[in-house]
Amino acid sequence: MIAQRIDIHRAHGRRRQARAAQPGRTFHLEDTQKVRAGILLVFFIALFAVLLYRAFDLTVLKHDTLVTMADRMHDISIELTRPRGEIVDRNGVPLAVRTMTDSVFANPRELEDLEGATALLTRTLSLEANALREKLANKSRGFVWIKRKISPAESAALPTKMPVGVGRVNEAARQYPYGRLAAALIGFSNIDTVGLEGLELQYDKVLAGQPGKMIGLRDAHRRVFFPDGVQVRGFEPGGTLKLTLDVHLQWFAENALDATMVEFKPKAAWAVVMDVQTGQILAIANRPTYDPTAPGDYPPEFRQNRALINRYEPGSTMKPITMASVLQEGKVRLDEKIYCESGSWNLYGTVIKDAHAHGWLTPAEIIQVSSNIGAAKLGMRLGREKVWGWLNRFGFAHPTGIDLPGEASGQMLPWSVWYPVAVATHSYGHGFSVTALQMLCAISALGNRGQLMKPYLVAETLDAAGRTLTRNYPQIRARVVSEYTAQTVLDMMKLVTQEGGTARRAALEGFEIAGKTGTAYKVNPLTHKYDKGRLVSSFVGLAPGDNPQLAIIVVVDEPSGHAFGGTCAAPAFRDIAENSLRYLGIYGRREDNERPTAPRPLLVQRANPAPAGALDVRVPADGQTPNFLGLTMRRAVSLAIERGIEIHPFGSGVAVQQSPPPYQALPTDKVVVVQFGPSS
Amino acid sequence: MVDKTRPRGFSFDRPLLLLVAIVVSLGLVMVSSASFPLDENPYHYFVRQLCFVLVGLALMFFIGSRDIRRFDSKTLVYALVIAAVILLALPFVPHVGQKINHARRWFKLGPVSGQPSELAKGIALLFFAWYLAHKGEGIRAFWRGVAPITVVAGVFIGAVIIEPDLGGSTMIGLLLMVMLFLAGARLRVLTLYSIIGGAGFTAIMLTSAYQRIRFFSFLHPWDDPTGASYQIKNSLIALGRGGVGGVGVGNGLQKLFFLPEIHTDFILANLGEELGLIGLWATFILFGVLVFRAMRLAMRSREPFVRLIGAGAAALLGLQVVVNAGVVMCLLPTKGLAIPFMSYGGSSAILNFSLIGLILAVGRASAPRTAPEPTSAWSPLRDRASGGLEDSCSDGPSTSISWGSAESE
């Protein structure tokens, strides 16, 4: 302290001496220093101002750009499956539904206990241990799926607290409650639930929805982590597709085709049921078919919607069209008789034959007995240009415009290059090809006062909240013939199923059926000539005959045993028509239809009857789960809809297990998981 | 020596201490946030930084409670300059020096390790203040005034530059310029020095490959985002992510190994990311006020040494902030300089707390002490020689007698 004081005194002394020696000048230096300190401060203020501005520039002005760059570095987004919306029939019965399943993933870099995790996942997910261990041990990957869309049983087997580095996420899966029903029509989607065929493809935009994304972060070492747990963002369920299809009619059509397949063992068979008045498609059945949950297991042709895609020579089913054209042109009188050359007519060196020899036939008889020569002679009255023109008016050689992908338009050469005999062959349905849908539409026009309708399959598209996005209405493509002409030809077609007609097997007790058989030889692709051994047999008809409601076409491709349309297609037509008319409550005669409608008959399941004894008849109280056990998936879904609950079906067969069990309190989300399996 | 008349209580400058307390707290929060992913033990760096801060605070109060004029000692200054030269040589001694990131900036002697260039800055400051205070008017002469101090500064700069620590040497060079400017050196000398310094800086930048890469990555940070400019690019991204309010303390993502040295030289980037523009502006304003306050405390004094050491310390703090922030915000090429009180690091903490200690001592020395119940009779006396009298009255019993007598009246 003393030393300090001395020091101070010394300093004092020095300053005093300095001041004394140079009076005034010390103060000058001090002033200079103070001014310069001020300048320095101003300089610092300027520098800090630059810093403040730069901070503003980076954090605010360049914020968006830099955040984008940052997000690109930090964020990792793992896209989950698309929550596809439902496809339902005209009554709301779901044909394709969304279910939620768990998927298991891992972050190999975060994994602590490789062996433990491998053991757990092998045990619970029935995976192959070595492949799994290899996957988990690969530290170069930040994120890896272990198994997607695991079963509820596997989900339940997994521990709630997953080992570090392993996680699970809930994602959408696709289920088809009716299995193969309408499979070719609905199509299917892939593992990422992207629509690949059929309606799933055509309406992918409506159905797909926004896939959920697992938003994770990753550090500079590419480690993925989920700081707030696994969160799925951006999940927006897809919209609903409401079809004009009726699941019951679809079922009748497929059942009928199954019987045809068994009886006639054809290469393929297909059928379409359409509402005559509106053009709404009620059923499109295809055989053989495939399982939409495993489309890869089937050859591509099994997945085809043949009613739209397969072209065939229509044969005699074309005769009513020829007849309508000739009548409309006024080139034939109804009481006229046409000579049918006793069954064999050499025209320009080509011999046209009838199945049975006939002499003179009225136009109605030509349709009834299906005389090729008669039809040819009628067609020739029009000339090739008009025959061609009329076929086009009825919609042949043009796509019908149905809202399904891949529709074929058929093949028809322009009239100018026709051989002379082509006028005759086109008149009885040879020398050009059509699709079943084209033929059905053309015949429907005769049952719809001459109006050609545009067929359609989707009644409405709805968003996830149930609001209508688009709605389809019946659309008249053309009025092709007069109502009188249409009615006249329709009356002729009724004769076909009556005594003396070619399709007695299509007759239905209590109903009049207007229809036409068709049988054509197929062209052998090797010889380019008609192959007498290979037929396409078909039947197209309208029911009931005096007030057509349903138009049904059945096409059988290469039936065995040389079965003509009246033999193999007509019975299938009758099966479909009978079931459908009963189901819809339509009576044979007009006056019958005006009676109060009887209760709608229940769907009779012939193919896969549920074990009647096993069914539980107790009615669950409100707020209780119904008993699904023992029910088929169809019945379970119907019951669920009736009870206003959601069902998540798994497997196939009959319900063997459900969660929660029957007659328990209904969960708040009203979801019941039902496991289907082979009935015991 | 109980002296009733000695001014009681707290003689440190409260505003300065408050500013330091805020900045240090903010710094601790940032170090803790930025460093937790870096080590197995998430508190590793935080705890160490806390120790550095506590040591620094002790040092600050120790220096702050000294009489600043005790540093105006030839013996002390010479001893420290020699010590500095020895310390600066340590990184080159085998087994003691440590090479980190291409540079020999570290020494390690048993449990003690440090960056001598940090301490060299403080010692250079003391030497400059001492020399210039004694030169007085003589600084206006070149050969007898400016040249000797330039030689000593040159030794410091040279010793730091060969580590290489361009940032440290630049800092000492800038400090020399500021001190010469404050002391009243002729402006043409300063202009000449600026040109020489700028040329030298550029020459080193362009001749050393290491520095050249850093320099060009500063000019074009987005050209080569994974290579040389990786660090500066990630610094800008961190700042940009912050926006106005930041992503919240602890929520920054650039610390996840994207931005190297985020807990040391680039702590400001973490602050910008987590506290946003508000945090950055608050930090700059706090430092700005701190420099301003320190400068004012220094300029209150009429003693050249007190003024110069105070203003020099203030300038050294301010320069570190400006240069570090400039680097972090890509206004200056990357140098490897810490920001005071925020960057993790012991040597930096020791230097900067010492600087605050010096400023506190300067504040105490320059405080215009209002005597208890001063009478108008004392005013002329204080006006004439305020500094000397006031300080002596607070420090020694000899002067307290006179004050005591005045008070007893």
Percent of the residues in chain B that have a pLDDT greater than 90, as a whole number: 49
Cβ contact A606:A259 at 8 Å: no
CB–CB contact A70 B253 (8 Å): yes
The pLDDT tens digits for A18-54 are 544 454 444 477 888 889 999 999 999 999 999 999 9
CA distance B242 to chain A (A): 6
Cβ contact B236:A65 at 8 Å: no
Is residue A324 domain-resident?
yes
Q: How many H helices and E strands in chain B?
A: 14, 3
Q: Tell whether the model's pLDDT for residue B241 goes beyond 70.
A: yes
Which CATH number goes with the domain that contains A551?
3.40.710.10
Taking contacts as CB-CB distances below 8 angstroms, the residues of chain A near B68 are none
CA neighbor of B348 nearest in space, from B16, B13, B59, B15: B59
CA neighbor of A503 nearest in space, from A427, A436, A577: A577
A22, A54, A75 - which closes a domain: A75
Task: Return d(Cα A496, Cα B113) in angstroms, integer.
Answer: 109
CA neighbor of A514 nearest in space, from A333, A368, A365: A368
Both A400 and A532 in one domain: the answer is: yes
Amino acid letter at B201? Answer: F
The pLDDT tens digits for B60-85 are 999 999 999 899 999 999 999 999 98
Confidence of residue A485 (pLDDT cuts 50, 70, 90): very high
The pLDDT tens digits for A416-443 are 888 888 899 999 999 899 999 999 999 9
Which CATH number goes with the domain that contains A196?
3.90.1310.10
A89-95: average pLDDT:
89
Task: Return d(Cα A68, Cα B207) in angstroms, integer.
Answer: 36
Both A282 and A320 in one domain: the answer is: yes
Task: Return d(Cα A177, Cα B377) in angstroms, integer.
Answer: 107
The answer to which of A164-178, A532-546, A634-648, B49-63 has the lowest mean pLDDT is A634-648
Among A16, A30, A58, A64, the strongest candidate for a mutation testing the B interface, having the largest count of B CBs within 10 A, is: A58
Among A56, A59, A62, the strongest candidate for a mutation testing the B interface, having the largest count of B CBs within 10 A, is: A59
Q: Does A73 touch chain B (CB under 8 A)?
A: yes
Task: Return d(Cα B235, Cα B271) in angstroms, integer.
Answer: 11
Percent of the residues in chain B that have a pLDDT greater than 70, as a whole number: 84
Task: Give the model's pLDDT for residue A342.
Answer: 87
The pLDDT tens digits for A550-589 are 999 999 999 988 888 888 899 999 999 999 988 888 876 5
CA neighbor of A515 nearest in space, from A538, A536, A535: A538
Both A491 and A620 in one domain: the answer is: no
Cβ contact A11:A19 at 8 Å: no
Task: Return d(Cα B345, Cα B264) in angstroms, integer.
Answer: 7
Whole-Å CA distances, B296 to A28, A35, B307: 19, 12, 9
Residue A486 makes CB contacts below 8 A (sequence gap 6+) with A324, A445, A446, A447, A448, A449, A450
Task: Return d(Cα A288, Cα A284) in angstroms, integer.
Answer: 13
Cβ contact B169:B211 at 8 Å: no
Task: Return d(Cα A581, Cα B193) in angstroms, integer.
Answer: 107
Both A383 and A486 in one domain: the answer is: yes
Closest to B67 (Cβ–Cβ): which among A4, A29, A59?
Answer: A4
Which structural domain range is residue A201 located in? 80-243
Is residue A234 domain-resident?
yes
What does the block give as tokens for A180? 């193969």
Phi, psi of B362 (to 5 degrees): -60, -40
> Structure pTM?
0.61
Phi-psi region of A545 (alpha: psi -120 to 50; beta: other; left: phi over 0): alpha
Is residue A438 domain-resident?
yes
Taking contacts as CB-CB distances below 8 angstroms, the residues of chain A near B240 are 58-59, 62-63, 65-67, 69-70
Question: Which has more pLDDT, B399 or B234?
Answer: B234
The pLDDT tens digits for B5-63 are 444 467 899 999 999 999 999 999 999 999 988 887 889 999 999 999 999 999 999 99
Q: How far is CA A258 from the centre of its chain?
A: 22
Is residue A522 domain-resident?
yes
Q: Tell whether the model's pLDDT for residue A602 goes beyond 60.
A: no
CA distance A6 to chain B (A): 10
CA neighbor of A649 nearest in space, from A662, A631, A669: A631
Among B187, B189, B218, B277, the strongest candidate for a mutation testing the A interface, having the largest count of A CBs within 10 A, is: B277
Phi, psi of A643 (to 5 degrees): -85, -5
Q: Does A63 touch chain B (CB under 8 A)?
A: yes
CA neighbor of B358 nearest in space, from B103, B125, B18: B125
The pLDDT tens digits for B353-380 are 999 999 999 999 888 765 454 444 444 4
Is residue A153 domain-resident?
yes
Task: Return d(Cα A271, Cα A552) in angstroms, integer.
Answer: 7
Give DSSP secondary structure letters for A311-364.
-B--GGGGHHHHHHHHHHHT---TT--EE-GGGEEEETTEEEE-SS--SEE-HH
| β-bridge pairing A94-106 and A166-175 | antiparallel
What does the block give as tokens for A38? 């001020």
The answer to which of A191-195, A417-421, B106-110 has the lowest mean pLDDT is B106-110
Closest to B184 (Cβ–Cβ): which among A11, A32, A59?
Answer: A32
Closest to B240 (Cβ–Cβ): which among A1, A33, A65?
Answer: A65
Task: Give the model's pLDDT for residue B308.
Answer: 92
CB–CB contact A44 B258 (8 Å): no
B290-304: average pLDDT:
91
Both A475 and A540 in one domain: the answer is: yes
Q: Tell whether the model's pLDDT for residue A205 goes beyond 90.
A: no
Task: Give the model's pLDDT for residue A4.
Answer: 53
Tell me which chain A residue has its CA closest to the CA of residue B238. Answer: A70
Confidence of residue A225 (pLDDT cuts 50, 70, 90): confident
Task: Return d(Cα A144, Cα A123) in angstroms, integer.
Answer: 19
What does the block give as tokens for A140? 């170069």
The pLDDT tens digits for A391-412 are 999 999 899 988 888 888 888 8
Both A523 and A569 in one domain: the answer is: yes
Is residue A12 domain-resident?
no
What does the block give as tokens for B191? 């202009």
Both A444 and A486 in one domain: the answer is: yes
Both A48 and A89 in one domain: the answer is: no
Tell me which chain B residue has its CA closest to the CA of residue A2. Answer: B396
Both A239 and A256 in one domain: the answer is: no
**What is the interface pTM, i.e. ipTM, of the complex?**
0.87
Task: Give the model's pLDDT for residue B321.
Answer: 95
The pLDDT tens digits for A72-88 are 888 888 888 888 888 99
Across all residues in chain A, what is the average pLDDT? 83
Is residue A405 domain-resident?
yes
A22, A55, A75 - which closes a domain: A75
Task: Give the model's pLDDT for residue B224.
Answer: 63
Query: Alpha helices, DSSP H only, in A87-143?
Result: 114-125, 129-137
A243, A261, A280 - which closes a domain: A243
CA distance B47 to chain A (A): 24
Of the segments A120-124, A258-262, A625-629, which one has the largest average pLDDT value? A258-262
A314-323: average pLDDT:
93
Is residue A612 domain-resident?
yes
Cβ contact A397:A378 at 8 Å: no
Structural domain tally of chain A?
4
Task: Give the model's pLDDT for residue A125.
Answer: 85
Task: Give the model's pLDDT for residue B96.
Answer: 77
Both A293 and A233 in one domain: the answer is: no
Q: Identify the residue whose tokens are 């768990």.
A: A102
Q: Tell whether the model's pLDDT for residue A616 goes beyond 60.
A: no
What does the block give as tokens for A10? 């010394």
CA neighbor of B352 nearest in space, from B274, B279, B287: B287
Both A322 and A470 in one domain: the answer is: yes
Both A214 and A320 in one domain: the answer is: no
